[in-house]
Amino acid sequence: MQLIINHTTQYHYDAPVDYGLLQVRLTPKSREGQQTRVWDLTVKGGKKELSFTDQFNNHVELISIEPGSQRITIHCRGEVDVTASSGVVGQHRGHMALWNFTRETPLTQSGPHIAALLEKLGGGHTNDIAMAHALSALIVERVPYQISQTNAETSAEGALNIGAGVCQDHAHIFLSAMRSLGFPARYASGYLMMNDRVDQDATHAWAEAHFDGIGWVGFDVSNGYSPDERYVCVATGLDYRDASPISGMRYGDTIENMVVQLQVQQ
């Protein structure tokens, strides 16, 4: 399947920005089952300083905000060929050793809520992948999808305590639980073609776990299945902070407002 992606992110500031830098992770990965035909990233109100590949094999653009600017626009357009693989990404590749993906982070640190979740999950599953799917279903049962209840700094334990969250929270809970069980697991961000609409207001997030003999397998906890040909993976990492579409810093006492326009279609 060929997916056409149009993605615009605008940052508006209530006062001129003295200086700012953004790390932009919006270029799809080269990986099994995914090939980029065309991809173009343009910037208004800023300047591309350099690009590099980080430790997670993500393509990163470093962009500076024009001094004195009150708006910066980042626009991506491209075409990506994706094939169905039942969520199987394949064997681990890259500079980052596999054991690194068993490490906890502040957003995925386990605690009493994760322990209670795993106790509820129990054993007796047909195999490890069946167990991971059962975990995915249990997470959505405990943390129904609901916007505006959490934010980018909410941890896995925090989302379980609140009892509501979004795809980022579901992925963090899954990562925390799988790592507690000894499985390498990583956060994935990217695009999802929706069945009921073209226009969207945010990118998507899911999780991937590594199984001996199979490699990395994706789990979209929020939707209850493994990623298929409607998904485009852009970035991966230990948690949201490693794979967020855009992160950065700025000098100046300003208030920021972000507007996202996104279309994903065939």
Please report the domains of the chain, with CATH numbers, ordered by start residue.
2-82+246-265 (2.60.40.2250), 88-243 (3.10.620.30)
Could you give the angle at which helices 112-121 and 128-142 cross, rounded to 10 degrees?
120
- Distance (Å, rounded) from C-alpha 233 to C-alpha 262? 15
pLDDT tens per residue across all 266 residues of the chain: 899 999 999 999 999 988 999 999 999 988 888 999 999 999 999 999 999 999 999 999 999 999 988 999 999 999 999 998 889 998 998 888 999 999 999 999 999 999 999 999 998 899 999 999 999 999 999 999 999 999 999 999 999 999 999 999 999 999 999 999 999 999 999 999 988 878 787 899 999 999 999 999 999 999 999 999 999 999 999 999 999 999 998 887 788 899 999 999 98
Q: What is the pLDDT of residue 200?
A: 84
Q: Which of 90, 95, 92, 101 is nearest to 238 (CA)?
A: 101
DSSP H helices, 181-251, are: 240-243
- Model pTM score: 0.94
Contact (CB, 8 A) for 215 and 89 = yes
Q: What is the pLDDT of residue 42?
A: 97
Length of the chain in terms of residues written: 266
- Distance (Å, rounded) from C-alpha 218 to C-alpha 226? 5
122: left (phi over 0), alpha (psi -120 to 50) or beta: left
